[in-house]
């Protein structure tokens, strides 16, 4: 099985281009990131070309985090900001050859205005990204870590994807978030497999390395492999000891899953 290093949490002691190189040395098959915009796209592209690692995705900017933002796309009255963030993300993704952009919904009251705003902005994102062959991902995020996040259930995401009918719009299935909100990971992945664009893992409840906690990831990933899912699994966790390298004892045995 293949794995992608999420450089928003892993190898953060390095600047992004060097983090990409560190992921390659550690044995990862791909990389992904959160908010790379402070780094010139040319530097990131050069590191990707040097290592041969694909960049699976990046996020739209979250907005004013100090002011309580955690995404913009579902916030009524802030469409101009949300679309500027989408344009920025698509342009950067195109410049470095990233496969996907995760459009962050943000925290809302869950009402119809927020839902309509989110869907309108996702249509805009699919149009802009489609011109570059880039996918759009939406991710249910748990309400323990991010109270009020507009999208928190897998079925809500699936409903949006079905209703919008955009081929480039897919589900980012984060096992950590889904286990906290809903559980039943194997059956949920199986039920929504045709909609899934990316899968991420981390231990529950501490979001550490995936070889501990309440989710039996070796068993889950064997099932995922048996379903025919053959893309890299995103390692989006926070190293328990603060040192990515020291916590990577899980990687080799996990890579052997499904072999």
* pLDDT at residue number 259: 67
Beta strands in 11-81 (DSSP E): 30-32, 57-59
* pLDDT at residue number 133: 97
* pLDDT at residue number 37: 98
**Within 10 Å of residue 163's Cβ, how many Cβ atoms?**
9
* pLDDT at residue number 258: 75
Domains delineated in the chain: 3-255 (3.20.20.150)
Helix residue spans in 27-98 (DSSP H): 41-51, 79-96
Catalytically annotated residues: 139, 236
Question: Which residues have C-beta within 8 Å of that of residue 144, sequence separation ≥ 6?
Answer: 180
The parts of the chain modelled with pLDDT lower than 70 are: 259
Q: Are 117 and 75 in contact (CB under 8 A)?
A: yes
pTM: 0.97
* pLDDT at residue number 247: 96
Tokens of 22: 């560190």
Question: What does the alpha-carbon distance between residue 43 and residue 18 come to, in Å, rounded to a whole number?
Answer: 10
Q: Is 95 helix (H, G, I), strand (E, B) or coil?
A: helix
């Amino acid at each position: 099985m293949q794995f992608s290093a999420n450089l928003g949490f892993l190898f953060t002691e390095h600047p992004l281009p060097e983090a990409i190189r560190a992921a390659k040395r550690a044995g990862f098959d791909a990389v992904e990131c959160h908010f790379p915009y402070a780094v010139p796209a040319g530097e990131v592209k050069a590191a990707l070309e040097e290592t041969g690692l694909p960049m699976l995705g990046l996020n739209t900017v979250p907005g004013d985090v100090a002011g309580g933002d955690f995404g913009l796309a579902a916030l009524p009255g802030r469409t101009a900001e949300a679309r500027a963030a989408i344009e920025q993300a698509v342009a950067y993704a195109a410049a470095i050859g990233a496969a996907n952009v995760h459009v962050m919904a943000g925290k809302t009251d869950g009402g119809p205005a927020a839902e309509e705003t989110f869907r309108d902005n996702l249509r805009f994102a699919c149009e802009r990204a489609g011109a570059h062959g880039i996918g759009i991902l939406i991710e249910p995020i748990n309400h323990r870590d991010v109270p009020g996040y507009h999208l928190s259930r897998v079925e809500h995401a699936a409903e949006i994807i079905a209703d919008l009918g955009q081929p480039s719009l897919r589900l980012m299935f984060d096992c950590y978030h889904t286990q906290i909100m809903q559980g039943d990971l194997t059956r949920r992945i199986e039920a929504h497999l045709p909609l899934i664009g990316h899968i991420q893992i981390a231990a529950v409840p501490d979001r550490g390395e995936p070889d501990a906690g309440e989710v039996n990831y070796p068993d889950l990933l064997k099932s995922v492999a048996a379903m025919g899912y053959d893309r890299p699994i995103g390692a989006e966790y926070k190293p328990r000891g603060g040192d990515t390298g020291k916590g990577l004892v899980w990687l080799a045995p996990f890579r052997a899953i499904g072999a």
